[in-house]
Amino acid sequence: MSKPGSRGVVWLGSPSFPDAAREALGNTRLRANLKRATTTIRDKRLAVASELDDWEQLRDAATAIKNRTARHLDRYLVQLEAAVTAAGGTVHWASDAAEANRIVTELVQATGEREVVKIKSMATQEIGLNEALAEAGITAYETDLAELIVQLGDDRPSHILVPAIHRNRTEIRDLFTAEMAHWGQPAPENLGDDPRELAEAARLHLREKFLTAKVAVSGANFAVADTGTVVVVESEGNGRMCLTLPETLITVMGIEKTVPSWSDLEVFLQLLPRSSTGERMNPYTSTWTGTTDGDGPREFHLVLLDNGRTDTLADEVGRQVLGCIRCSACLNVCPVFERTGGHAYGSVYPGPIGAVLTPQLVGVENAASLPFASTLCGACYDACPVKIDIPEVLAHLRAKAVERKPRGAEALAMKAAATVLDSPRLLSAAQKAAALGGRALAREGRIGRLPGPLHGWSDTRDTPAPPAESFRSWWRKNREGER
């Protein structure tokens, strides 16, 4: 069995969420970029979701399909393998990131090529494939516009769907002008920051790669078990280029992306574009089944990635997270993500879904601050097209995080509070003490800055001084006698 340490997913050396968030919050440009972007996507999603009368039924259907698939995943995966093999593809099984990277590297090496083009893929981000290929002397070119921006900036993605959400168009123009020449076709002279101009520059830069690359690497949004069909959903057409022009196609797919049949796929193809980009239908949906003579890649390899997923499946509360279709609706509605951005999560999977997926993939003790990076406001649950109860899983993982860490000051305080709260007599005594202490600290009924662990609270907020008399004390004196 693979060890969490060999799974990637988290960026090693990242600070805990509260520390990383503090730094991100100080970046006013980042906050402005994020607010504008998340608000825009949020409104678009709401508009297209509300125009479907059966939106809630679609969500229920998606949950049911994902639950059923997870329950019989062993069977569906074997069925998928058989169907892909029968259609001329080759299936590989990878228990963790290291194994998946080794498989892909060897497959590329077998072609004799030193360059691959890539379709945006969370699975390959998760395993750190580009870095692994680079170590073997193979250059991977990202062809999704936002991933290209991230790659040119030697940066990290900060959003599942819009990885460069933290960049504005001026920053992107500067990046294109400075960096494109090092990777291939340079940016046009005097490039402006109009989105149309930027897209055209990217198009010219990428065209060269599409026409020369012999190997492509993709992820998968879905794979249909009974036919062996793999599906990629995208907006820009770069995916279609990568899926059709090269001679060899290697797809890395998390095992949970399997759906039983095409009729199940129909549900997700309605939910995904509406939830992610706020479109009724995404511009490009590519499906392929093995290989076809004289049409598209001559070789197709499907790498089925576990990397912590069977561990997740074993958790009866946490397993619902495997239903995620990576739409990012939860990120766009999350008030925490909107302020901190994605990098603060220190993981390939940011936002609410990252806070419940990452700790499960790598072990909660290796991402212990993430389940606490939420107010449990529930906006993510309402937005999730698969109805993943993210707040429920967050609370569940918090309990696991507490169980697995050595008992410290917080545990002692919680234990003491539990003792007081389980006794009306001790509670009354504590209320009297609080009233006395509070009045000593307060000025005009308000307590200002506090020392110790509560300074984070009191740096920006006054606290009301506890009243002289608690409710229970008042009731005893004024109301008990009457009855």
The binding site for other proteins (CB under 8 A) comprises 17-18, 21-22, 25, 31, 335-336, 339-340, 371-379, 381-382, 395, 398-403, 410-411, 414-415, 417-418, 421-424, 427, 430-431, 434, 446, 453-457, 459-464, 466-467, 469-472, 474-476, 479, 483
At closest approach, how far in Å is the CB of 71 from other proteins? 21
Q: How far apart are CA 312 and CA 357, in angstroms?
A: 9
Nearer to other proteins, 26 or 112 (CB): 26
Query: What is the Cα–Cα distance from 33 to 343, expressed in whole angstroms?
Result: 14
Least CB distance to other proteins at residue 159 (A): 17
- Closer to other proteins by Cβ: residue 75 or 472: 472
Give 113 or 462: the residue with its C-beta nearer to other proteins.
462
Helix (H) or strand (E) holding 305: strand 299-305
Residue 139 Cβ vs other proteins, minimum distance, rounded to whole Å:
38
Looking up tokens 């999350």 gives 334
Alpha helices in 305-423 (DSSP H): 309-313, 329-333, 335-340, 351-362, 379-383, 390-404, 409-421
Q: Which is nearer to other proteins, 101 or 431 (CB)?
A: 431
Q: How far apart are CA 236 and CA 201, in angstroms?
A: 14
C-beta separation of 252 from 200 below 8 A: no
Q: Tell me the closest approach of the beta carbon of residue 146 to other proteins, in angstroms.
A: 25
Contact 370, 30 (CB under 8 A): no
Q: Where are the beta strands (DSSP E) in 153-298?
A: 215-218, 222-224, 229-234, 248-254, 258-259, 284-289
Q: Closer to other proteins at the Cβ: 122 or 336?
A: 336
Q: How far is the CB of 374 from other proteins (least distance, A)?
A: 7
3-class secondary structure, 24 = helix
Nearer to other proteins, 233 or 447 (CB): 447
Taking the C-alpha atoms of residue 307 and residue 8, their distance in angstroms, rounded to an integer, is 9
If the CB atoms of residues 207 and 446 are measured against other proteins, the closer one turns out to be 446
Please, which residue, 75 or 455, has the CB nearer to other proteins?
A: 455
Which residues in 268-295 are b (16+ Cβ under 10 Å) and which e? bbbbbbbbbbbeeebebbbbbbbbeeee
* CB of residue 324 to other proteins, shortest distance in Å: 19
Nearer Cβ to other proteins (247/392): 392
Q: In the bound complex, what is the minimum distance in angstroms from residue 160's beta carbon to other proteins?
A: 20
Give the chain's radius of gyration (CA, Å).
26
∠ CA 191-192-194 to the nearest 5 degrees?
A: 130
Could you tell me the two tokens for 176?
A: 């294109």
User: Smallest gap, in angstroms, from Cβ of residue 295 to other proteins?
Assistant: 49
Least CB distance to other proteins at residue 217 (A)? 36
Q: How far is the CB of 408 from other proteins (least distance, A)?
A: 12
Upper half-sphere CA count for residue 65 (Cβ side, 13 Å): 27
Distance CA 475, CA 483 (A): 11
Between 42 and 205, name the residue whose CB sits nearer to other proteins.
Answer: 42
Neighbours of 371 (CB within 10 A): 24
